[in-house]
Every structure is written in C-alpha cells, then in structure tokens.
Amino acid sequence: MYCNLYHKIRIGFYILFFLFCANITCFPEKQSFVVVPKNFVAEPTKNSVAASNNVLATAITFYKDGALIRQGQILPLIKGKHPAHSTGIASSIVYESLMLSLSALPKEASIEEVTVEKAEEENTMALSLTVNSTVAEPKNYVNITYLLRNMSWKPYYAIQFTSGYQELIFNGWIDIVNKTGIALKNAQIQFVDGNIPPIQGDAADKAQGKAKGYAYKGILDMKKNETKRINWVFSGALKAKQDYRIFVGGKFLKDMESKAANPIVETWVSFRNVTENALGQDLPQGTAVLYYQDDNGHLEVLGNTSLPHMAAGQEVSVKIPSTQIDKIDKNNKKESKRIETELEQNQYRALSDLHMTESHYCLTLKNTSAEPVVIRVMLDLPFDVEHWEVIRETIQHEKTGETSIYWSVPVPANGSVQLKYQLRYIKAAE
C-alpha cells in the first residue's frame, strides 16, 4: 500500500512539475505594449519588437548636396536581450554617419548591434537591432540620425520694380529636391548654404569654412521622388533708392601703361532687410529675375542678377543688368546714356622687394543729362593687402570694410567733375 501511495505521489509530482515548466515556456506573461505593424520588413519573432512607422518627429537640415535627417520612432522595450526593427531609412544613407540613441537611460537599455539591410519597400533600407534592456518600457523611442544623398535645395528670387525704381516687390522661393524613396511628413527644416563636410579620409581633417545656416518657420510635407517649391519670403511695395556706381578696383589697380579706361556706370537699387518691410531675416545667396512695371501697367524683363547673402537688418543692393542701366525718368521714358567716364593712371610704381605699390589716378565724370546725379566710386583692394592708405584725394572717402572704400561724387547737370586720388598698399609676403 505504501508502495502504491509512493508511486501515486511521485506521478503527481511529475505532473505538477510538467505544468509548471509548460507555464514558463509556453505561456509567458502578456506583453500588451509590444505593437507589431503589418508593414515592417520582417515579422518579429518571439520576444521581438519593432519601431513604428508612425514617426514621432522629423527634423532635416538640407545641404546643397544632401541632407542630415533625424527621426524619432517608437521602439517599445521588453526585458532582456531581443531583436528590434526599424524601417523607412533612405537607401542613399551614408553608413558611416548613422547614430542611434534610445530615450531610455543608458543604464536601463542599450543597442548592442545594428545591421543596415535592404527593405521590402523600393529604395528604402531597414535597421535590424539587438537591444538589451533591464526594463519594460512601452513608450520608449529611438532617435535615428544619419546623412543621406539625393536631396538638395536652391534659392530663387524675383524682384519687380515700379515708380522709377523707387518701389519694389520682393519674392523669395526655395526649390527642394527629394530623389529618395522616403516621404516626409510634418518635418522641421533648415538649410545650410554649402555641401556636406567630408567625414572620411584626409579631407575630413582639412579646415572647413563655416557655412551659413537658415531657419524655416513652417513645416514640410514631401512625397517620394518629388521636387517642391516653397515660399521663403514675400514683401510688397518696399521703399527703395536708386544710385549709380563705378568700380575702380581689380584690373585698374595694375599698371595701365598710360592707357585711359572707361569704367562702366552701373545702376543699383537698394532696400532694407528689416521687419518693417516684412523681411528681417537672413536670406541665402541666389539668382534673382528682375522685372520693371511702368505706371501704365506694362511689364518687361530686365534680366537676372546674383544676390549675395543678405543679413537681417542690413541694406540689400541689387544690380540692374548692364543692358538696362539707363535711367527711367518720371514719365517712364528711358533716357540715353547719361554718364560718361574716363579713368587715367598718371603714375604707377611697384617696389617688388617691399611688396609695395603706389599709383595716382584721375577719374573724370561727365553728366549729359539735365538732372544732377551722385556717383558712388567703389574701390576694393586685393584680399592679401597687409597695409594700405589713401595718400591724397580731392573728395573724402568712406570706409565700408577692411579693404573697401568709396567716394560719393556729386556731378551737376550737364557738367563734369574730376576725382583725384593716390593709393599706396603693401601686400603680405608670400
């Protein structure tokens, strides 16, 4: 009897032990926070989680030859080491630039391995991760940061002048090109006026000039393989002022061999990049198409010109193409060429051992119109000048930069004026 009882107890123990083990291996505690979207690269295996394609946030910095993207994707954590997956990575990713970070504390979870592989969706990649976590966190997310190619941007401007160049309408656009297989939704964006700095090889060690960055206040939605033009700035009825400029630097600083020159008179129109003009933000360099509308509403194309970087709060000067330098009078009639120039170099002396150059000039300005004008004579010295000075001048100059000056020369109606000046400058030793 005792033997039978012993066998019964023994059999009962084995049954309880089997059920206990089955409960552990076959029926784990319910993990309701593990979400498995249908469009992931591969169906997660047991104890595997995936980053949701429902991206939390996207921020992009566009360069001229690519972009830097950061996306926050939901990536729930479970305890222990487990695989995880993330999709929607551009196939033009620069692999060396990939950076991953979890919202969980480093002591709570870490990414031990990552593999970049081709995804089912065309022109996209996927990340296969190995995550080790000491906590279960359903609200965890992963920040995915990387550089990619096949994205670019370019600014364009359009300017319409009215009322004899005394008013203008200013419009700025940015073309964004997305030749990748990923779409963008509610993306915060900014632009850098330069290429992506090198991150590999010897080129990465070379000093890079600091490129200018430009923020954009709105958000961006883009489809795959799409080009989109977004409105950057718009300002209407801006007050402007017109002036005439002559540039006497560059080739005129060399030995002119006693030959007179005739510098071109350029027409410029200026306005202020300030908030009062619905502007007041840094604007990138770009090409501007210029229009002119007369009082009768007739519109003509003047051509195009290049605009430099336009800092907030500063004056912006626009060069009218040389084919349109004639003045528009109050009756919107073009006058014939009204300013004649002649530049003579009376003396030129170069002392090579001292890297010093000294020269004397006489600029004659003749106004053939019935109205007085003011000519701004601009002089930019070579960038490698170490020291310079104006020894003599008939009109006091103004300084606009370390090596830039100008003279404001009033020329009476049907009259002429001479500007005489003597320069001395020393170039840095090579």
* pLDDT tens by residue, 294-308: 888 899 999 999 999
Does residue 86 share a domain with residue 134? yes
Exposure string over 26-62, b if 16+ CB within 10 A, otherwise e? eeeeeeeebeeeeebbeebeeebbbbbeebeebebbb
The answer as to whether 212 is a domain residue is: no
CA 277 to CA 271: how far, in whole Å? 9
Looking at residue 401, what is its pLDDT?
86
The proportion of the chain whose per-residue pLDDT surpasses 70, expressed as a percent, equals 81
The answer to whether 88 and 146 are in contact (CB under 8 A) is no
Looking at residue 167, what is its pLDDT?
93
Does residue 66 share a domain with residue 20? no
Looking at residue 104, what is its pLDDT?
83
CA 22 to CA 27: how far, in whole Å? 7
pTM (predicted TM-score): 0.74
CA 354 to CA 395: how far, in whole Å? 29
The answer on pLDDT for 154 being more than 80 is yes
Taking residues 114-143, report their average pLDDT: 91
Taking residues 100-120, report their average pLDDT: 90
The answer on pLDDT for 275 being more than 60 is yes
The answer as to whether 410 is a domain residue is: yes
Does residue 298 share a domain with residue 382? yes
The answer as to whether 196 is a domain residue is: no
- Going by the DSSP 8-state scheme, the letter that residue 399 receives in this structure is E
Last residue of a domain, one of 91, 121, 148: 148
The answer as to whether 170 is a domain residue is: no
- List, for residues 379-430, the tens digit of each pLDDT value: 998 878 888 999 999 999 999 888 899 999 999 999 999 999 999 999 877 6
- List, for residues 170-214, the tens digit of each pLDDT value: 999 999 999 999 999 999 999 999 999 988 765 555 545 578 999
Does residue 318 share a domain with residue 249? yes
3-state secondary structure of 223: coil
Instruction: Calculate the CA 404 to chain-centre distance.
Output: 27
Burial class (CB in 10 A: 0-12, 13-18, 19+), 140: buried
The answer on pLDDT for 281 being more than 70 is yes
Domains: count for the chain: 3
Closest Cα to residue 167, out of 312, 293, 345?
293
CA 87 to CA 74: how far, in whole Å? 11
The answer on pLDDT for 142 being more than 50 is yes
Number of H helices, E strands in the chain: 1, 25
The answer as to whether 102 is a domain residue is: yes
Looking at residue 430, what is its pLDDT?
66
Looking at residue 245, what is its pLDDT?
94
Last residue of a domain, one of 113, 148, 183: 148
Does residue 322 share a domain with residue 287? yes
Looking at residue 352, what is its pLDDT?
74
Looking at residue 327, what is its pLDDT?
46
Does residue 88 share a domain with residue 116? yes
The answer to whether 339 and 377 are in contact (CB under 8 A) is no
Does residue 399 share a domain with residue 353? yes
The proportion of the chain whose per-residue pLDDT surpasses 90, expressed as a percent, equals 60
Structure confidence at residue 35 as a pLDDT band (50, 70, 90): very low
Instruction: Calculate the CA 22 to chain-centre distance.
Output: 61
Expressed as residue numbers, the domain containing 84 is 49-148
Does residue 249 share a domain with residue 121? no
Structure confidence at residue 12 as a pLDDT band (50, 70, 90): very low
The answer on pLDDT for 17 being more than 80 is no
Does residue 363 share a domain with residue 273? yes
Does residue 80 share a domain with residue 5? no
Q: 167 CB contacts (<8 Å, ≥6 apart)?
A: 161, 237, 238, 239, 240
Last residue of a domain, one of 126, 148, 170: 148
Taking residues 143-167, report their average pLDDT: 93
The answer as to whether 192 is a domain residue is: no
Looking at residue 203, what is its pLDDT?
55
Mean pLDDT of the chain: 82
Taking residues 280-285, report their average pLDDT: 93
| Pair type for strands 167-178 and 398-401 | unpaired
Structure confidence at residue 264 as a pLDDT band (50, 70, 90): very high
CA 301 to CA 233: how far, in whole Å? 21
Structure confidence at residue 25 as a pLDDT band (50, 70, 90): very low
Does residue 65 share a domain with residue 106? yes
Q: 148 CB contacts (<8 Å, ≥6 apart)?
A: 66, 67, 69, 90, 92, 93, 94, 180
The answer as to whether 168 is a domain residue is: no
The answer as to whether 206 is a domain residue is: no
Q: Which residue has the higher pLDDT, 364 or 31?
A: 364
Structure tokens at 250: 């560059």
Does residue 117 share a domain with residue 13? no
- List, for residues 308-345, the tens digit of each pLDDT value: 999 999 999 999 886 444 544 444 444 445 889 999 99
- List, for residues 53-74, the tens digit of each pLDDT value: 567 889 999 999 999 999 999 9
Element (H, E) at 3: helix 2-26
